[in-house]
Structure 1
């Protein structure tokens, strides 16, 4: 790739970028390479066609046309953009795990879900349990609405019990009614400014066994979710402020990586990354560390957010708890709240009309 003018992205080694002058304009080609699968996109169709011809002359390759399926992920073009989903993969799960006739659930987890390791509870087949959870984890690539519930059941892979299996079946029941949901990649305007907005949240002492909190974050670019995470924090937080502060630091690390990725793609970011947090004490701790002696016990690695704020790369902003979109990644919610957040984070249902010629996206 380097011999034909492409540069390897330092932060993501499977990406190659080429910038060149063509017809008096600065054009760009981006290539994503994974083993023997290759995606190419760019700002000029003529350059894309030239690149494909060049590859076909050097290697035995097949041109599959516009992107529709890649590594188990489907891409459906709609009036509003492209929906990235895994419908075919989801529809296969009930057949594999004998839940074809199950009733659909409104949410992937019951409100107040608190699983524990119960040594006296009936054990289940660990191999089957790991197979189901592994399949669900792959779905999290396009389904941020599953991240929290799948993360919780993943904690019991070693010795699963009946209550853990019931929680997994609840997720499968939820998928029964939402198999076509995915992420809408909206159509951007030429020359549109690139801005990144993120949300971080934490459920203080969410795990009843070790009292560790669950942290979650989600990043948006142009209104489209591009990165999200839901995971247990590595240390026990002594307050909700500390839990939120640690979650914000996790989001800050991801923001730094995204900044390097955009730089490698030669995309200029407009302004600072905005991080929205619903805890004022955590924001104050990030902006004014000198006034907080109570932060002395917090591990040094979690103070990375202070450096990013002081250097002007990150803007930490307060938001109301009602507007905290990362809430869906930290706890089990009621149906109304869950569905509202699912819509707000940009998840839609991809539907194909009866004549299979016109596709629409519905929220």
Structure 2
């Protein structure tokens, strides 16, 4: 790659970029490489064609044309933009685990669900359980709305019981009714401003067994979701302020990585990265040194957010709890609220061809 003028990104080793001037206009070529699969995009069709020709001269490759399938992820063009989904993968997974004919559910997790680590219940096959969890985790690449539920059942892979298996089957039942959903990447002007906004939230002491909280974040690039996470925090927080502060710091680390990647891709981001948090005390803790005295017991690494704010690289902004999209990634929600946040996070239905839908009847 280096021999033909592409630079390897230090932030993401599988991405290569080339920038050049053409007719007083800056052009670029971006290549994503994973083992022997390659994804090529750029601002010039001619340059993309030339690059393909160079690759074919060096390696035996198949040109599959415009993007529609990559690493198990499908891409469908619509009037609104590009839909990124895993409909085929979802149907195959439902077939694999004999859930293709099950009744669908309107949410991936029941409200108030309390799972225990070692309940007095009958055990289930741990190998099969882990296969189901692994399959679901890969689906989270295009379905942030199941990230919390999948993260929850992932905690019990060592010694799974009946209640844990039923929670997984609830997720599969939800996927039965929403197999043709995915992420919408809206179309827009290529020369317009680029902005990054993020939401961060946590569910204080969400895990009743060890009292640790569940933290989550989601990043939007011009309204399109590009990065999200739902994880259990590594420490026990003593207040809602602390757990929100820790969650915001996790999001800050991701913001720093995204900023570095954008810089290497020669994409100029307008203004600072905006992080929306619904806890005013946590926001104050990121800005004012006077607050630090009351939080000395917080691990040093979580104060990284204070450094980013003081350097002007990150802006932490308050948002109302009613507007907090992150609730979708930190707790189980009721049906109506879940549907509203699913739409706001960018997960929508995509029109699937009839031949793909017919796979549901095949075993």
Q: Shift in Å at residue 25 of structure 1?
A: 2.2
Q: Aligned residue for 1:361?
A: none
Q: Shift in Å at residue 118 of structure 1?
A: 2.9
Q: Aligned residue for 2:359?
A: none
1:48 aligned to 2:56? no
Q: Aligned residue for 1:250?
A: 250
Q: Shift in Å at residue 233 of structure 1?
A: 0.1
Q: Shift in Å at residue 24 of structure 1?
A: 3.5
Aligned counterparts of 1:114 and 1:120: Cα–Cα separation in 2: 14
Paired residue secondary structure (1:218): strand
Q: Shift in Å at residue 290 of structure 1?
A: 1.5
Aligned counterparts of 1:247 and 1:291: Cα–Cα separation in 2: 17
Q: Shift in Å at residue 293 of structure 1?
A: 2.4
Q: Which residues of 2 match residues 82-121 of structure 1 at below 5 A?
A: 82-121=82-121
Q: Shift in Å at residue 190 of structure 1?
A: 2.6
- Cα deviation 1:72-96 (Å, max 9, x = unaligned): 0000111111100000010112211
CA RMSD of aligned residues (A): 1.3
Q: Which residues of 2 match residues 1-363 of structure 1 at below 5 A?
A: 1-352=1-352
Aligned counterparts of 1:129 and 1:354: Cα–Cα separation in 2: 31
CA contact (8 A) 2:180 2:352 kept: no
Q: Shift in Å at residue 26 of structure 1?
A: 1.6
Aligned counterparts of 1:202 and 1:282: Cα–Cα separation in 2: 12
TM-score (normalizing by structure 1): 0.96
Paired residue secondary structure (1:84): strand
Q: Shift in Å at residue 354 of structure 1?
A: 6.6
Taking a change above 3 Å as real, the CA distance of residues 121 and 289 of structure 1, as seen in their structure-2 partners, is farther
Unmatched segments (≥5 aa) in structure 1? 357-363
Aligned counterparts of 2:234 and 2:269: Cα–Cα separation in 1: 31
Paired residue secondary structure (1:65): coil
Paired residue secondary structure (2:33): strand
Taking a change above 3 Å as real, the CA distance of residues 13 and 97 of structure 1, as seen in their structure-2 partners, is same
Aligned counterparts of 2:75 and 2:178: Cα–Cα separation in 1: 16
- Cα deviation 1:279-328 (Å, max 9, x = unaligned): 00000111113134220110100000000111110000000001001110
Paired residue secondary structure (1:28): strand
Aligned counterparts of 1:126 and 1:217: Cα–Cα separation in 2: 30
TM-score (normalizing by structure 2): 0.96
Unmatched segments (≥5 aa) in structure 2? 357-363
Over 4 Å off, 4+ runs: 353-356
CA contact (8 A) 2:196 2:274 kept: yes
Paired residue secondary structure (2:158): coil
Stretch of structure 1 that moved more, 36-45 or 282-291: 282-291
Taking a change above 3 Å as real, the CA distance of residues 60 and 334 of structure 1, as seen in their structure-2 partners, is same
Aligned counterparts of 2:289 and 2:346: Cα–Cα separation in 1: 35
Aligned counterparts of 2:264 and 2:244: Cα–Cα separation in 1: 30
Q: Aligned residue for 2:361?
A: none
Aligned counterparts of 1:116 and 1:268: Cα–Cα separation in 2: 47
- Cα deviation 1:206-227 (Å, max 9, x = unaligned): 0010000000000000100000
Aligned counterparts of 2:86 and 2:275: Cα–Cα separation in 1: 29
Q: Shift in Å at residue 146 of structure 1?
A: 0.7
Aligned counterparts of 2:56 and 2:127: Cα–Cα separation in 1: 43
